[in-house]
C-alpha cells in the first residue's frame, strides 16, 4: 500500500463541473460561479471532509476550438492564484494545488507568487506545472502559434531549476530581525543566483524569504515522454489519465524506473489519477444522473473538442464514419497526452461521433457511478494494488457531485480506515508524506564577510 491513507484532491476545471456542458444542468450555478462565496462553500465542505487538497486547473485563454467554444463551452474562470490567495485566508488545513504555466511568464514572478501564498497559507500550496499547449493561449502572448513541444519542456525544466533556486536563495535561518544590532538578515545566508541559461537570465535573490515548505509541492500532469521525464526529475505529485487498474500498475512501474534514473526513490512522488465519481443511493439513480448529464452534450461541441485534441478538423468528415489518420506525436505541438488517448480510442473502431461524445463526456478518465460502497470498492482496489496513491476527483456536476461525495463516500472510506478522520499537524508536504527539500545553497562554501 502506498501510504497510511489515500490522497484525495477535489478538482476544479470548469466552475460548474468537469462535464463540458454541465452548465446546462438545472442544478448548476449561474453567474454566482464568479463570486467568492460559491468557492468558499465548496472548499468548506471539502475541508470538513478532511480532503488533502483542492486542485485547480487553468488555461490562459478562452478555448474556441473550431468556433463553438465561446458559444457553448463554459471555460471562462477566475485567475486561480488570486482565488487561492483569498481561499487560503478562509481555511485552516486544506491544501491548494494551483496550475501556472511556464510558457508565458518568468520564473521570478512565479516563484515570488507561490512563495507568498505558501507563507500566507502557512505551508499549504502546491504548483501544478504546465506547458501551455492551446493555440488560443499562444495568440494572447504575441505568438502566431504554439511554442514547439520539445522547446516548451526544455524551457519548463530550466524554469523549475530557477524557481527552486530562487526559493532557496534565502536559507531558513536567514531572517534575523535583530532590533538590537540592526541586522535584519544574515548576508551569509542570502544568495545571488547569477543564473544565465538558454531561456532565462536571473540574478536573484528572491524578495520573499524561503517558503514554509522549502519548495511548494510540485505537481505535474503531462504524460508524454517529455512530461513523464519532467515529472521524474522534479515532481512531488503526478496527475495522470489512467483508464484501468492494470494500466495504473504498469504506469507506476514505468515512473519508478524514471525516478531511479534521477536518483529518486518511488516514495518521493505520489501518483493521483483523475476519476469522475457520480454517487447516489442506488446504482440506478447514479446511472440516471450520468445519462442525464451526457444528454446535455451537443455534437458540435463534442466534435470541436475532439478536433482540438486530435489536431485535425474532424467536422469535415462524416460523423458516423471512422476517425481519419492523425498527426504523429513526434511532430505535434499540441497536447501529446490527449492525442495519444484519441489515437488509442480510435483504434478501438469508434466512429467520430461515438469517440467525440465519449471524450467530451468523460475526458477519457474513468467514470465511477454507483452507491457509496461501490465507489469506495473501486477506490480501495486501485489504492491497495499500488495503481494509485490517491485520486484527483473530477466531479461532473458542481456543487451536487462534490457535496454528495463528501457526505456519502468519504465516511465509507474512513470506516475502512483508508482515509483520515482528522488532519495531521504540519504542512501540505507533511500530510502527503513528502520530505522537505534541502536548501541547494546551504551546503556551499560561504563567501568571506
DSSP track, 330-389: GG--S-HHHHHHHHHHHTTT-BHHHHHHHHHHHTTSPEEEE-HHHHHHHHHHHHHHTS-S
Q: Are 293 and 24 in contact (CB under 8 A)?
A: no
pLDDT of res. 327: 77
201-202 vs 195-196, strand pairing mode: antiparallel
CB-neighbour burial class of residue 318 (10 A; exposed 0-12, middle 13-18, buried 19+): exposed
Do the domain assignments include residue 303?
no
Q: Which residues pair with 100 in a beta bridge?
A: 129
pLDDT of res. 22: 85
CB-neighbour burial class of residue 142 (10 A; exposed 0-12, middle 13-18, buried 19+): exposed
Residue 343: other Cβ atoms inside 10 A: 17
Q: CA 342 to CA 246: how far, in whole Å?
A: 19
Which residue, 172, 195, 189, is CA-closest to 106? 195
pLDDT of res. 323: 84
Taking only Cα atoms into account, the Rg of the chain, rounded to an integer number of angstroms, comes to 22
ω into residue 205 within 30 of 0, thus cis? yes
Do the domain assignments include residue 344?
no
Residue with grid cell 524561503, as numbered in its chain: 210
Question: Distance between the two ends of the chain, CA-based, in angstroms?
Answer: 51
Number of domains in the chain: 1
What are the distances in angstroms from CA 264 to CA 1, 287, 371, 401, 409? 19, 42, 39, 37, 34
Mean pLDDT per block of 10 residues along the chain (449 residues) reads 81 83 89 93 98 94 64 75 96 98 96 98 97 85 87 94 98 96 96 97 98 98 87 96 92 96 96 95 93 85 79 84 80 68 76 81 80 97 97 94 97 98 98 96 74
Do the domain assignments include residue 52?
yes
Do the domain assignments include residue 69?
yes
Do the domain assignments include residue 311?
no
Do the domain assignments include residue 341?
no
Q: CA 180 to CA 188: how far, in whole Å?
A: 19
The 10 Å CB-count burial string (b at 16+, else e) for 257-290 is ebbeeeebebeebbbbbbbbbbbbeeeeebeebb
Domain span at residue 217 reads 7-284+364-431
Query: In this structure, what CATH number is given to the domain that contains residue 278?
Result: 3.20.20.30
Q: CA 449 to CA 400: how far, in whole Å?
A: 61
Do the domain assignments include residue 86?
yes
Do the domain assignments include residue 242?
yes
Q: In the chain, what is the greatest distance between 2 CA atoms, to the nearest angstrom?
A: 80
Supply φ then ψ for residue 389, to 5 degrees. -90, -5
pLDDT of res. 302: 81
What does the block give as the cell for 233? 526529475
Q: Are 219 and 238 in contact (CB under 8 A)?
A: yes
CA angle (154, 157, 159) in 5-degree steps: 105
Amino acid at each position: 500500500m502506498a501510504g497510511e491513507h489515500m490522497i484525495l484532491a477535489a478538482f476544479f476545471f470548469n466552475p460548474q463541473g468537469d462535464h463540458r456542458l454541465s452548465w446546462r444542468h438545472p442544478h448548476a450555478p449561474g453567474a454566482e460561479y464568479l463570486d467568492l462565496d460559491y468557492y468558499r462553500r465548496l472548499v468548506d465542505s471539502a475541508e470538513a471532509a478532511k480532503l488533502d487538497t483542492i486542485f485547480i486547473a487553468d488555461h490562459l485563454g478562452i478555448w474556441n476550438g473550431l468556433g463553438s467554444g465561446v458559444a457553448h463551452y463554459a471555460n471562462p474562470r477566475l485567475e486561480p492564484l488570486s482565488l487561492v490567495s483569498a481561499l487560503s485566508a478562509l481555511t485552516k488545513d486544506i491544501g491548494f494545488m494551483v496550475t501556472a504555466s511556464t510558457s508565458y511568464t518568468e520564473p521570478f514572478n512565479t516563484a515570488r507568487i507561490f512563495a507568498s501564498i505558501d507563507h500566507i497559507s502557512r505551508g499549504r500550496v502546491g504548483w501544478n506545472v504546465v506547458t501551455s499547449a492551446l493555440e488560443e493561449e499562444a495568440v494572447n502572448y504575441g505568438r502566431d502559434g504554439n511554442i514547439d513541444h520539445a522547446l516548451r519542456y526544455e524551457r519548463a525544466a530550466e524554469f523549475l531549476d530557477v524557481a527552486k533556486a530562487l526559493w532557496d536563495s534565502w536559507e531558513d535561518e536567514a531572517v534575523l530581525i535583530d532590533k538590537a544590532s540592526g541586522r535584519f538578515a544574515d548576508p551569509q545566508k542570502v544568495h545571488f543566483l547569477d543564473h544565465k541559461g538558454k531561456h532565462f537570465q536571473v540574478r536573484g535573490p528572491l524578495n520573499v524569504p524561503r517558503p514554509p515548505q522549502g519548495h511548494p509541492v510540485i505537481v505535474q500532469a503531462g504524460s508524454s515522454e517529455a512530461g513523464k521525464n519532467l515529472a521524474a526529475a522534479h515532481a512531488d505529485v503526478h496527475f495522470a489519465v489512467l483508464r484501468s487498474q492494470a494500466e495504473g500498475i504498469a504506469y507506476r512501474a514505468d515512473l519508478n524506473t524514471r525516478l531511479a534514473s534521477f536518483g529518486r526513490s518511488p516514495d518521493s512522488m505520489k501518483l493521483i489519477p483523475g476519476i469522475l465519481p457520480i454517487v447516489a443511493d442506488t446504482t440506478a439513480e447514479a446511472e440516471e444522473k450520468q445519462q442525464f448529464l451526457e444528454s446535455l452534450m451537443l455534437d458540435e461541441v463534442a466534435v470541436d473538442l475532439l478536433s482540438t485534441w486530435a489536431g485535425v478538423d474532424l467536422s469535415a468528415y462524416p460523423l458516423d464514419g471512422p476517425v481519419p489518420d492523425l498527426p504523429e506525436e513526434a511532430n505535434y505541438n499540441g497536447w501529446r497526452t490527449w492525442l495519444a488517448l484519441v489515437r488509442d480510442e480510435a483504434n478501438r473502431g469508434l466512429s467520430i461521433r461515438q469517440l467525440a461524445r465519449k471524450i467530451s463526456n468523460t475526458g477519457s478518465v474513468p467514470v465511477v457511478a454507483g452507491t457509496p460502497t461501490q465507489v469506495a470498492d473501486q477506490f480501495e482496489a486501485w489504492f491497495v494494488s499500488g495503481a494509485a496513491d490517491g485520486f484527483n476527483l473530477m466531479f461532473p456536476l458542481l456543487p451536487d457531485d462534490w457535496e454528495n461525495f463528501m457526505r456519502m463516500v468519504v465516511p465509507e472510506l474512513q470506516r475502512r480506515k483508508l482515509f483520515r478522520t482528522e488532519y495531521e499537524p504540519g504542512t501540505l508536504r507533511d500530510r502527503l508524506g513528502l520530505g522537505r527539500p534541502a536548501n541547494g545553497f546551504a551546503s556551499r562554501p560561504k563567501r568571506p564577510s
